[in-house]
Structure 1
Protein backbone atom coordinates (compact mmCIF):
# COMPACT_ATOMS: atom_id res chain seq x y z
CA UNK A 1 0.00 0.00 0.00
CA UNK A 2 1.46 3.43 -0.93
CA UNK A 3 2.39 5.80 1.84
CA UNK A 4 -0.07 8.71 1.58
CA UNK A 5 1.36 10.51 4.60
CA UNK A 6 4.89 11.03 3.22
CA UNK A 7 4.84 14.70 2.28
CA UNK A 8 2.78 17.69 3.17
CA UNK A 9 0.92 19.39 0.35
CA UNK A 10 -0.74 22.76 0.10
CA UNK A 11 -4.33 22.92 -1.08
CA UNK A 12 -6.64 25.72 -2.04
CA UNK A 13 -10.40 25.53 -1.57
CA UNK A 14 -12.95 27.91 -3.05
CA UNK A 15 -16.33 27.92 -1.34
CA UNK A 16 -19.54 29.55 -2.44
CA UNK A 17 -21.92 29.80 0.50
CA UNK A 18 -25.59 30.73 0.37
CA UNK A 19 -25.62 34.54 0.54
CA UNK A 20 -28.69 34.40 2.82
CA UNK A 21 -26.49 33.07 5.64
CA UNK A 22 -25.30 35.51 8.30
CA UNK A 23 -21.56 36.16 8.52
CA UNK A 24 -21.37 34.35 11.88
CA UNK A 25 -23.12 31.28 10.43
CA UNK A 26 -20.57 31.16 7.61
CA UNK A 27 -17.70 31.51 10.11
CA UNK A 28 -19.16 28.66 12.20
CA UNK A 29 -19.47 26.41 9.15
CA UNK A 30 -15.88 27.14 8.12
CA UNK A 31 -14.62 26.37 11.61
CA UNK A 32 -16.55 23.10 11.69
CA UNK A 33 -15.38 21.97 8.24
CA UNK A 34 -11.78 23.06 8.73
CA UNK A 35 -11.74 21.17 12.03
CA UNK A 36 -11.97 17.96 9.98
CA UNK A 37 -8.75 18.73 8.12
CA UNK A 38 -6.09 18.51 10.84
CA UNK A 39 -4.17 21.07 8.82
CA UNK A 40 -0.57 21.80 9.67
CA UNK A 41 -0.16 25.50 10.30
CA UNK A 42 -2.78 28.17 9.90
CA UNK A 43 -5.58 28.10 7.37
CA UNK A 44 -5.52 31.37 5.48
CA UNK A 45 -8.88 32.76 4.42
CA UNK A 46 -9.59 35.36 1.79
CA UNK A 47 -13.16 36.65 1.93
CA UNK A 48 -14.41 37.87 -1.42
CA UNK A 49 -17.83 38.53 0.04
CA UNK A 50 -21.26 38.47 -1.56
CA UNK A 51 -21.20 38.46 -5.34
CA UNK A 52 -23.55 37.69 -8.16
CA UNK A 53 -23.24 34.15 -9.51
CA UNK A 54 -22.44 33.60 -13.18
CA UNK A 55 -25.57 31.42 -13.36
CA UNK A 56 -28.26 30.50 -10.82
CA UNK A 57 -27.38 27.67 -8.42
CA UNK A 58 -30.29 26.10 -6.54
CA UNK A 59 -32.43 29.14 -7.49
CA UNK A 60 -29.86 31.48 -5.88
CA UNK A 61 -28.56 34.51 -7.79
CA UNK A 62 -25.84 35.49 -5.27
CA UNK A 63 -23.27 33.68 -3.18
CA UNK A 64 -20.67 34.41 -0.53
CA UNK A 65 -17.20 33.56 -1.85
CA UNK A 66 -14.27 32.47 0.33
CA UNK A 67 -10.88 31.13 -0.69
CA UNK A 68 -8.97 29.04 1.85
CA UNK A 69 -5.41 27.79 1.68
CA UNK A 70 -4.16 25.00 3.93
CA UNK A 71 -1.40 22.42 4.19
CA UNK A 72 -2.10 18.76 4.92
CA UNK A 73 0.27 16.00 5.99
CA UNK A 74 -2.48 13.38 5.82
CA UNK A 75 -4.48 13.53 2.58
CA UNK A 76 -6.74 10.70 3.72
CA UNK A 77 -8.89 13.33 5.48
CA UNK A 78 -9.92 14.92 2.16
CA UNK A 79 -12.76 12.47 1.29
CA UNK A 80 -14.48 13.04 4.65
CA UNK A 81 -13.96 16.81 4.29
CA UNK A 82 -15.55 16.78 0.82
CA UNK A 83 -18.41 14.60 2.07
CA UNK A 84 -19.16 17.13 4.82
CA UNK A 85 -19.16 19.97 2.27
CA UNK A 86 -21.52 18.05 -0.04
CA UNK A 87 -23.97 17.42 2.81
CA UNK A 88 -23.94 21.06 3.99
CA UNK A 89 -26.94 22.80 2.42
CA UNK A 90 -25.33 26.20 3.06
CA UNK A 91 -22.50 25.38 0.64
CA UNK A 92 -23.70 25.99 -2.93
CA UNK A 93 -20.43 24.97 -4.61
CA UNK A 94 -16.85 24.21 -3.67
CA UNK A 95 -13.62 23.35 -5.44
CA UNK A 96 -10.52 21.89 -3.82
CA UNK A 97 -7.29 21.94 -5.79
CA UNK A 98 -3.62 21.39 -5.21
CA UNK A 99 -1.91 24.77 -4.80
CA UNK A 100 1.20 24.60 -6.95
CA UNK A 101 2.22 28.26 -6.98
CA UNK A 102 0.87 31.79 -7.10
CA UNK A 103 -1.27 32.75 -10.08
CA UNK A 104 0.35 34.18 -13.15
CA UNK A 105 3.25 33.17 -15.30
CA UNK A 106 6.63 32.64 -13.68
CA UNK A 107 9.00 35.56 -14.12
CA UNK A 108 11.04 35.49 -17.31
CA UNK A 109 14.82 35.83 -17.43
CA UNK A 110 16.48 38.63 -19.42
CA UNK A 111 17.39 36.09 -22.16
CA UNK A 112 13.78 34.87 -22.41
CA UNK A 113 12.51 38.46 -22.62
CA UNK A 114 15.01 39.27 -25.39
CA UNK A 115 14.05 36.11 -27.31
CA UNK A 116 10.33 36.91 -26.94
CA UNK A 117 10.89 40.47 -28.20
CA UNK A 118 12.88 39.17 -31.18
CA UNK A 119 10.10 36.66 -32.01
CA UNK A 120 7.47 39.40 -31.77
CA UNK A 121 9.52 41.67 -34.05
CA UNK A 122 9.95 38.84 -36.56
CA UNK A 123 6.18 38.23 -36.57
CA UNK A 124 5.55 41.94 -37.28
CA UNK A 125 7.96 41.86 -40.26
CA UNK A 126 6.04 38.99 -41.88
CA UNK A 127 2.76 40.92 -42.07
Structure 2
Protein backbone atom coordinates (compact mmCIF):
# COMPACT_ATOMS: atom_id res chain seq x y z
CA UNK A 1 0.00 0.00 0.00
CA UNK A 2 1.38 3.39 -0.99
CA UNK A 3 1.99 6.05 1.61
CA UNK A 4 2.95 9.69 1.19
CA UNK A 5 6.49 10.52 2.30
CA UNK A 6 8.44 13.71 2.62
CA UNK A 7 12.22 13.70 2.64
CA UNK A 8 14.36 16.74 3.29
CA UNK A 9 18.09 16.55 2.98
CA UNK A 10 20.94 19.03 3.16
CA UNK A 11 23.85 18.99 0.72
CA UNK A 12 27.28 20.54 1.29
CA UNK A 13 27.28 24.27 0.50
CA UNK A 14 30.49 24.13 -1.53
CA UNK A 15 28.90 21.99 -4.27
CA UNK A 16 28.50 23.68 -7.63
CA UNK A 17 24.99 24.01 -9.05
CA UNK A 18 25.76 21.21 -11.50
CA UNK A 19 26.98 18.87 -8.73
CA UNK A 20 23.92 19.64 -6.61
CA UNK A 21 21.62 18.93 -9.57
CA UNK A 22 23.45 15.64 -10.21
CA UNK A 23 22.91 14.63 -6.58
CA UNK A 24 19.20 15.51 -6.76
CA UNK A 25 18.82 13.55 -10.01
CA UNK A 26 20.70 10.59 -8.54
CA UNK A 27 18.35 10.28 -5.55
CA UNK A 28 15.27 10.97 -7.66
CA UNK A 29 16.29 8.23 -10.12
CA UNK A 30 16.84 5.84 -7.22
CA UNK A 31 13.28 6.46 -6.00
CA UNK A 32 11.84 5.99 -9.51
CA UNK A 33 13.75 2.73 -10.04
CA UNK A 34 12.45 1.44 -6.72
CA UNK A 35 8.79 2.14 -7.41
CA UNK A 36 8.14 5.61 -6.01
CA UNK A 37 5.55 7.68 -7.89
CA UNK A 38 4.32 11.29 -7.91
CA UNK A 39 7.77 12.57 -7.01
CA UNK A 40 7.80 16.30 -6.41
CA UNK A 41 11.21 17.95 -6.03
CA UNK A 42 11.72 21.35 -4.42
CA UNK A 43 15.24 22.75 -4.24
CA UNK A 44 15.21 25.41 -1.55
CA UNK A 45 18.74 26.51 -2.32
CA UNK A 46 21.54 27.52 0.00
CA UNK A 47 20.43 28.49 3.49
CA UNK A 48 22.02 29.12 6.87
CA UNK A 49 22.03 26.09 9.17
CA UNK A 50 20.63 26.39 12.69
CA UNK A 51 23.93 25.06 14.03
CA UNK A 52 27.22 23.97 12.42
CA UNK A 53 27.20 20.51 10.85
CA UNK A 54 30.60 19.06 9.97
CA UNK A 55 32.06 22.56 10.46
CA UNK A 56 29.71 23.97 7.79
CA UNK A 57 27.43 26.95 8.48
CA UNK A 58 25.34 26.75 5.28
CA UNK A 59 23.74 23.95 3.29
CA UNK A 60 21.74 23.34 0.14
CA UNK A 61 18.25 22.19 1.14
CA UNK A 62 16.26 19.78 -1.04
CA UNK A 63 12.76 18.40 -0.44
CA UNK A 64 11.20 15.31 -2.03
CA UNK A 65 7.49 14.52 -1.71
CA UNK A 66 6.53 11.12 -3.11
CA UNK A 67 4.27 8.09 -2.82
CA UNK A 68 5.84 4.71 -2.14
CA UNK A 69 5.36 1.49 -0.24
CA UNK A 70 8.16 2.32 2.22
CA UNK A 71 10.74 -0.23 1.10
CA UNK A 72 12.77 2.52 -0.63
CA UNK A 73 13.47 4.54 2.49
CA UNK A 74 16.08 2.40 4.21
CA UNK A 75 18.27 1.79 1.12
CA UNK A 76 18.08 5.47 0.11
CA UNK A 77 19.02 6.64 3.60
CA UNK A 78 21.89 4.13 3.63
CA UNK A 79 23.22 5.61 0.37
CA UNK A 80 22.90 9.13 1.80
CA UNK A 81 24.63 8.13 5.04
CA UNK A 82 27.65 6.89 3.05
CA UNK A 83 27.67 9.89 0.69
CA UNK A 84 30.00 12.75 1.70
CA UNK A 85 27.89 15.38 -0.08
CA UNK A 86 24.89 14.86 2.25
CA UNK A 87 25.12 16.60 5.63
CA UNK A 88 21.72 15.53 7.02
CA UNK A 89 18.54 13.81 5.86
CA UNK A 90 15.12 13.09 7.32
CA UNK A 91 12.18 11.12 5.94
CA UNK A 92 8.71 11.31 7.45
CA UNK A 93 5.39 9.74 6.61
CA UNK A 94 2.82 12.40 5.71
CA UNK A 95 -0.92 12.07 6.13
CA UNK A 96 -2.69 12.37 2.77
CA UNK A 97 -5.02 15.05 4.14
CA UNK A 98 -2.01 17.16 5.15
CA UNK A 99 -0.55 17.13 1.65
CA UNK A 100 -3.89 18.27 0.23
CA UNK A 101 -4.18 20.99 2.87
CA UNK A 102 -0.66 22.20 2.18
CA UNK A 103 -1.29 22.51 -1.55
CA UNK A 104 -4.59 24.28 -0.85
CA UNK A 105 -2.85 26.69 1.53
CA UNK A 106 -0.19 27.43 -1.08
CA UNK A 107 -2.85 28.25 -3.68
CA UNK A 108 -4.89 30.28 -1.17
CA UNK A 109 -1.81 32.29 -0.19
CA UNK A 110 -1.07 33.15 -3.79
CA UNK A 111 -4.73 34.11 -4.36
CA UNK A 112 -4.76 36.33 -1.27
CA UNK A 113 -1.50 37.98 -2.37
CA UNK A 114 -3.06 38.75 -5.76
CA UNK A 115 -6.19 40.14 -4.08
CA UNK A 116 -4.08 42.36 -1.80
CA UNK A 117 -2.12 43.73 -4.75
CA UNK A 118 -5.35 44.40 -6.66
CA UNK A 119 -6.72 46.29 -3.64
CA UNK A 120 -3.52 48.34 -3.41
CA UNK A 121 -3.80 49.21 -7.10
CA UNK A 122 -7.44 50.30 -6.59
CA UNK A 123 -6.39 52.54 -3.66
CA UNK A 124 -3.65 54.13 -5.72
CA UNK A 125 -6.07 54.74 -8.61
CA UNK A 126 -8.68 56.31 -6.33
CA UNK A 127 -6.08 58.55 -4.67
CA UNK A 128 -4.78 59.58 -8.09
CA UNK A 129 -8.28 60.44 -9.31
CA UNK A 130 -8.95 62.40 -6.08
CA UNK A 131 -5.79 64.44 -6.58
CA UNK A 132 -6.74 65.07 -10.24
CA UNK A 133 -10.19 66.24 -9.12
CA UNK A 134 -8.62 68.57 -6.56
CA UNK A 135 -6.22 69.97 -9.14
CA UNK A 136 -9.11 70.53 -11.57
CA UNK A 137 -11.08 72.42 -8.89
CA UNK A 138 -8.07 74.60 -8.07
CA UNK A 139 -7.55 75.41 -11.76
CA UNK A 140 -11.26 76.23 -12.14
CA UNK A 141 -11.14 78.54 -9.10
CA UNK A 142 -8.08 80.33 -10.43
CA UNK A 143 -9.67 80.71 -13.88
CA UNK A 144 -12.93 82.03 -12.43
CA UNK A 145 -11.12 84.61 -10.28
CA UNK A 146 -8.87 85.75 -13.14
| TM-score normalised per structure 1 | 0.69
Determine if contact 2:7/2:65 at 8 Å carries over to the other structure.
Answer: yes
TM-superposed CA distance for 1:78, in Å, is 1.7
Could you tell me which residue of structure 2 aligns to residue 86 of structure 1?
Answer: 81
**Aligned pair in 2 of structure 1 residues 31, 48: CA closer, same or farther (>3 Å)?**
same
**Aligned pair in 2 of structure 1 residues 22, 30: CA closer, same or farther (>3 Å)?**
same
1:19 and 2:13 correspond: yes
Could you tell me which residue of structure 2 aligns to residue 117 of structure 1?
Answer: none
What SS is found at the alignment partner of 1:76? coil
TM-superposed CA distance for 1:26, in Å, is 1.3
**Aligned pair in 2 of structure 1 residues 27, 39: CA closer, same or farther (>3 Å)?**
farther
In the alignment, structure 2 segments of 5+ residues that lack a partner are 103-146
TM-superposed CA distance for 1:67, in Å, is 1.0
Determine if contact 2:44/2:62 at 8 Å carries over to the other structure.
Answer: yes
Q: Which runs of 4+ in 1 moved over 3 A?
A: none
Give 1:53-92 correspondences, 5 Å limit: 53-73=49-69, 75-92=70-87
Tell me: higher relative CO, structure 1 or 2? Use CA pairs within 8 A at least 6 residues apart: 1
Whole-Å separation in 1 of the counterparts to 2:35 and 2:48:
31
In the alignment, structure 1 segments of 5+ residues that lack a partner are 1-6, 105-127
Whole-Å separation in 2 of the counterparts to 1:39 and 1:50:
29
Determine if contact 1:10/1:72 at 8 Å carries over to the other structure.
Answer: yes
Specify which structure has the higher proportion of helix.
Answer: 2
Which entry has the higher C-alpha Rg, 1 or 2? 2
Deviations 1:68-113 (A, max 9, x none): 101113x222211110010111110011001111477xxxxxxxxx
TM-superposed CA distance for 1:41, in Å, is 2.8
| TM-score normalised per structure 2 | 0.61
